[in-house]
Amino acid sequence: MTATDAGGTDPAGALAALLVAERRRVLATVIRLTGDLALAEDAVQDAAISALETWRRLGVPPNPRAWLTLAAKRRVIDLLRREGARPNKEREAIILAVQRAPDETPPGIVRDDQLRLIFTCCHPALAQEAQVALSLHVLCGLSVAEVARALLVSEATMAKRLTRARRKIADAGIRYRVPDAGELPGRLGAVATTVFLLFTEGYASRSADAPALVSARPESSVPPGSQAPPGSAALPPPTAPSGPPGASVAEEAIRLGRLLVELMPGEPVLEGLLATMLLQHSRLRARFDGDGDIVLLADQDRSLWDRSRVAEGIELAASAIRGSSIRPERFAVTAAIAACHALAADAATTDWDAIIAWYDVLLALDPSPVVRLNRAAALAESGDPAAALAVVDRIGGLDDYFWFHATRAELLRRLGRHPEAGAAALVARELTGSAAQLRLLDRRHPS
């Protein structure tokens, strides 16, 4: 009899599903007990290998997550006992904490564990590039190679970056905890920006989105104030963890956003962050057709939009706007822009004047090139492609940004300047490896 027959489930498939759904929970629990990110990661990795070997022989256990957690705890003890560099008292204290921990972690502690993990990965002492890399690797379970591909660096460079981030956490004594109330406001910018970058990576991995202009999508591909390189969300997508749609990187970012809103209800930064993600993600099913081709926003079947996400996003956006009415908060503004699209019954009734006005507010907060490009797209959609092109041609710093050249190509096409449009489209083609983006250019600018 095979292990599948004995346990009723394919061991490899069960383990893959478990790691997608529960790896973060198990890892967060082990980090809380050990206070050591690297040790916990090694233990969970070893426990997963052990699970595959054992489950193939004996079948999948009734509670796979509890089995994996217990195996990871035992592996922590094994690793510590073999380790020579750590002081004996510290080693014994960790072993004792692991041994005394209950087999099943209560839900409230699980939530706190996950919040602690967010704030550890997004600690302001780490450079933002390290925050994003660590979050993709630890929070979302992407491999070093996948993170490297997502952030356009070599695997060796990414491995060094992650090693430096872990060393910084250890050397700086960054504690695995949710900050005190007085520390939270100073952390929110870094945390919110990093979570949104996770969302944009996942959003791109599910679909190579259309350029700002031709999709009429107002939201910046790079979050306001981000130090991420322009075009990072438009490059060849990372490989998202396998599993159901709910396990995607974008869904994970939304889950983290919900945890943060629960931690600080009524905080405009976090409400705006979650609202922006929900409103963008609500269009997921409508953005591609059955052949995998991009469906522009004007052509999308809005009945496919997730209305529950739209409703929740609009409610959060309204609260974020009210909460930042005296001093506008950038994620509240991006949520307001996304809500303008969600509130329109169809593309023809979109309130472009309101969108442009919100972009004016956003530009005052974040006069970045990508925000300027998206405002120009809104200006074109309002009926003035010539003025939009004049704005685009004054934007600097986006020479290597796919959407910049794709937007120029579309504006030139609308103005009947077809040779110039073709030249701009050719530049855009050189800046993407996305088949969907290339097919979109081919449709808009046939050679």
- The region of weakest confidence among 20-24, 289-293, 399-403 is 20-24
Q: Compare 358 and 432 and report the one with higher pLDDT.
A: 358
Q: Which residue has the higher pLDDT, 35 or 354?
A: 354
Query: Does residue 52 or residue 238 have the better pLDDT?
Result: 52
Tokens in use for 8?
Answer: 């009723």
pLDDT > 90? residue 414:
yes
**Token couple for 218:** 């107002």
Is the sign of the CA dihedral 239, 242, 245, 247 positive or negative? negative
- Going 139 to 145 to 151 to 153, the CA torsion angle's sign is positive
Report the distance separating Cα 447 and Cα 440, nearest Å.
Answer: 13
State the average pLDDT over residues 119-128: 85
pLDDT higher than 80, residue 5 = no
pLDDT of residue 231: 28
Dihedrals phi, psi of 294, to nearest 5 degrees: -65, 130
Q: What is the pLDDT of residue 433?
A: 82
- Best mean pLDDT range from 97-101, 142-146, 222-226: 142-146
Average pLDDT, the chain: 82
**How confident is the model over 179-203, as a mean pLDDT?**
81
The torsion angle over the Cα atoms of residues 339, 343, 347 and 353, rounded to 10 degrees, is -60
Chain centroid, CA 137 distance in Å: 11
Q: Does the pLDDT at position 239 exceed 70?
A: no
Higher local confidence (pLDDT), 208 or 160 = 160
Highest mean pLDDT among 28-37, 192-201, 280-289: 280-289
When pLDDT is cut at 50, 70 and 90, the band that residue 105 belongs to is low
**pLDDT given for residue 16 in this prediction:** 86
Give the pLDDT of residue 195.
Answer: 87
Please name the amino acid found at residue 151: L
Judged by average pLDDT, the poorest of 150-154, 318-322, 397-401 is 150-154
Evaluate whether 366 touches 392 at the Cβ level (below 8 Å): no
Region of 50 please: left (phi>0), alpha (psi -120 to 50) or beta. Answer: alpha
Q: Nearest Cα to 418, choosing from 376, 447, 388?
A: 447
> Across residues 400-422, what is the average pLDDT?
94
Is residue 1 within 8 Å of 58, Cβ to Cβ?
no
What does the pLDDT read at residue 104?
A: 67
CA distance 123 to 121: 6
| d(C-alpha 229, C-alpha 234), whole Å | 11
Give the Cα separation of 363 and 359 in Å (integer). Answer: 6
- The pLDDT of residue 160 is 93
Neighbours of 213 (CB within 10 A): 27
* Secondary structure in 3-state letters for the chain: CCHHHHHCCCHHHHHHHHHHHHHHHHHHHHHHHHCCHHHHHHHHHHHHHHHHHHHHHHCCCCCHHHHHHHHHHHHHHHHHHHCCCCCHHHHHHHHHHHHHCCCCCCHHHHHHHHHHHHHHHCCCCCCHHHHHHHHHHHHCCCCHHHHHHHCCCCHHHHHHHHHHHHHHHHHCCCCCCCCCCCCHHHHHHHHHHHHHHHHHHHHHHHCCCCCHHHHCCCCCCCCCCCCCCCCHHHCCCCCCCCCCHHHCHHHHHHHHHHHHHHHCCCCHHHHHHHHHHHHHHCCHHHCECCCCCECCHHHCCHHHCCHHHHHHHHHHHHHHHHHCCCCCCHHHHHHHHHHHHHHCCCHHHCCHHHHHHHHHHHHHHCCCHHHHHHHHHHHHHCCCHHHHHHHHCCCCCCCCCHHHHHHHHHHHHHCCCHHHHHHHHHHHHCCCCCHHHHHHHHHHCCC
Cα–Cα distance measured from residue 407 to residue 380, given in angstroms and rounded to the nearest whole number: 10
Q: What angle do CA 9, 11, 17 make, to 5 degrees?
A: 85
- Of residues 306 and 28, more confidence is placed in 306
194 vs 216 pLDDT, higher one: 194
Check residue 214 and give its pLDDT.
39
pLDDT at 103: 64
Please give the Cα distance from 110 to 311 (Å, whole number).
Answer: 28
**CA-to-CA distance for 60 and 6, rounded, in angstroms?**
8
pLDDT at 217: 32
